[in-house]
Amino acid sequence: SAVISQKPSRDICQRGTSLTIQCQVDSQVTMMFWYRQQPGQSLTLIATANQGSEATYESGFVIDKFPISRPNLTFSTLTVSNMSPEDSSIYLCSVPGQPTNEKLFFGSGTQLSVL
Amino acid sequence: GENVEQHPSTLSVQEGDSAVIKCTYSDSASNYFPWYKQELGKRPQLIIDIRSNVGEKKDQRIAVTLNKTAKHFSLHITETQPEDSAVYFCAASMFSGGYNKLIFGAGTRLAVHP
């Protein structure tokens, strides 16, 4: 499985500010997925990031709130914009394993608290 | 779209007992069903998976069964140990926009008591 590094591991932010989360993979991958895990809840897909094209967002998530960059095949960022306490969650990037692209592996996550 | 339901939400067993977690899915086109274990403060880890052309798969103390007709699949853990205590998530694949993505169940918090 790929080694997936996420930064920061945790942050405490003020309401109305933005935070950018970075995800670095040690191998080239076509797709990267961003998930949100609210406290005590399941994993909800925010968007899928393909290199060289705009991210595809799931129902309930919009680009203005969660802009995503995917400048190359090993890196992606997710920004949580204009934060409110409801954005307090763990944000996880994930990549599919090779060769079948089915098995999904997760980064260590970013624990975000918004005051 | 795909919907995955998972039961029970919490499960408490004595060490050495078996634990069973069940999931149902709605999209008959789903063909891949993984299970993840998430310990407190850690990332979800893939523990076992099954494809739709297989009815059962085992890996030591864990097994997964799939009933495609009924659209449900289950995780079985035998001889449970305290280190099995964690939250377990099932998932089902959904093909959309040219690629597979995973839709997760709500999770089961398993507590194994010594």
Reported as a single tens digit per residue, the pLDDT across B5-30 is 999 999 999 999 999 999 999 999 99
What CA–CA distances, in Å, run from B114 to A103, A105, B79? 33, 31, 12
Cα–Cα distance between B78 and B21 in angstroms, integer?
A: 12
Around Cβ A4, how many Cβ atoms within 10 Å?
A: 22
Residue A81 distance to chain B (closest CA, Å):
24
Q: Is the peptide bond before A99 cis (omega within 30 degrees of 0)?
A: yes
* Nearest-Cα residue of chain A relative to residue B100: A102
Cβ within 8 Å, pair A109-B93 = no
Overall size of chain A counted in residues: 115
Residue B97 distance to chain A (closest CA, Å):
9
Q: What is the helix, strand, coil percentage profile of chain A, to 5?
A: 5, 50, 45
User: Would the pLDDT of B44 be above 80?
Assistant: yes
Q: Who among B44, B49, B93 is closest to A43 (CB)?
A: B44
Cα–Cα distance between B103 and B74 in angstroms, integer?
A: 16
Cβ within 8 Å, pair A108-B49 = no
User: Would the pLDDT of A100 be above 70?
Assistant: no
Chain A residues with beta carbon closer than 8 angstroms to that of B43: 92, 106-109
Cα–Cα distance between B16 and A38 in angstroms, integer?
A: 32
Residue B90's Cβ-count burial label (10 Å; 0-12, 13-18, 19+) is buried
Please, which residues have CB within 8 angstroms of residue A94's CB and are 6 or more apart in sequence?
A4, A32, A33, A34, A35, A104, A105, A106, A107
Do B102 and A104 touch, CB atoms closer than 8 A? yes
Chain A residues with beta carbon closer than 8 angstroms to that of B106: 41-42
Residue B109's Cβ-count burial label (10 Å; 0-12, 13-18, 19+) is middle
Please, which residues have CB within 8 angstroms of residue A86's CB and are 6 or more apart in sequence?
A114
The residues pairing with B32 across neighbouring beta strands, listed in sequence order, are B51
What pLDDT sits at residue B104?
A: 96
- Mean pLDDT of chain B, nearest integer: 94
What CA–CA distances, in Å, run from A73 to A26, A27, A31, A58, A70? 10, 8, 8, 21, 7
Q: Who among A56, A59, A104 is closest to B102 (CB)?
A: A104
- CB-defined contacts A:B, below 8 A: 46
Reported as a single tens digit per residue, the pLDDT across B75-87 is 999 999 999 999 9
Cα–Cα distance between B45 and B57 in angstroms, integer?
A: 18
Residues of chain A contacting B, Cβ within 8 Å: 31, 33, 41-45, 48, 56, 59, 92, 96, 101-109
Reported as a single tens digit per residue, the pLDDT across A71-98 is 999 999 999 999 999 999 999 999 988 6
User: Would the pLDDT of A101 be above 70?
Assistant: no
Cβ within 8 Å, pair A102-B49 = yes
Question: Among the ranges A28-32, A102-106, B5-9, which has the highest mean pLDDT value?
Answer: B5-9
Cβ within 8 Å, pair A42-B89 = yes
* Nearest-Cα residue of chain B relative to residue A32: B101
